[in-house]
A and B are shown apart, each in its own frame.
Chain A
Amino acid sequence: KQEVTQIPAALSVPEGENLVLNCSFTDSAIYNLQWFRQDPGKGLTSLLLIQSSQREQTSGRLNASLDKSSGRSTLYIAASQPGDSATYLCAVRRYDKIIFGKGTRLHILP
């Protein structure tokens, strides 16, 4: 049974710092891994999708990597800003099984 873990559960960093969020999964047989952000009481915004054959994806200040063999993905945020404060979720997919982690709640201190 696939399990997805995100560590840490919460993180506070000063504005301007680079930071890394972690996502691990127990079954490497996945189609893709997707990173989302969620603002309080809102829906999810897709950030990056990495297919199982890919190693990383980049969008602006965000870079996500995938190491399928070790069951790990990281989301790197460069030069963090207060607007980056949100909960970041990762999800892995195989067929129609989509499993989410509990998320990392990120707070960027001005």
Chain B
Amino acid sequence: ETGVTQTPRHLVMGMTNKKSLKCEQHLGHNAMYWYKQSAKKPLELMFVYSLEERVENNSVPSRFSPECPNSSHLFLHLHTLQPEDSALYLCASSQGRQGGRYEQYFGPGTRLTVT
């Protein structure tokens, strides 16, 4: 595997379910990100992790719970979601965070549908 991978690629869940999205980066990067992409809206940054520490949380509802057990893996735990949470969830990584020289590399995304 190379780059940034995400599983599953598609997920349908009911509002009472609990599920998790997984992201893995094979680039040796130190920072990882979760984004939400809804129709007709710009990508929204949800969480930023640096060396397994959460450094940014953009007022995301508590029904989204991130976890970063090591610098290569990032999870997004989902529970009691709403239909408006249906979106493409993208994971990204970068070699560092500080300063301006670090590109973000994205995974293919998980298409989530909440019924």
Contact = CB atoms under 8 A, between A and B. Distances in A.
Interface of A: 4, 30-32, 34, 36, 41-46, 49, 51-53, 89, 91, 93, 96-103
A98 B104 CA distance: 11
Contacts of A53: 100
Contacts of A46: 103-106
B108 A102 contact: no
A96 B101 contact: no
B74 interface: no
Contacts of B33: 98
B101 A51 contact: yes
Contact of B43 (A31, A45, A52, A89): A89
Interface string B97-115: 1011101111111010000
B68 to A, nearest CB: 14
Contact of A102 (B42, B56, B90): B42
Contacts of A97: 45, 56
B48 interface: yes
Given A41-B111, A45-B106, A96 B48 contact: yes
A96 B42 contact: no
A4 B108 contact: no
Contact of A98 (B6, B45, B55, B109): B45
A44 B42 contact: no
Rank and list the top 4 A-B pairs by shortest CB-CB distance, nearest first. A31-B100, A32-B100, A51-B100, A96-B56
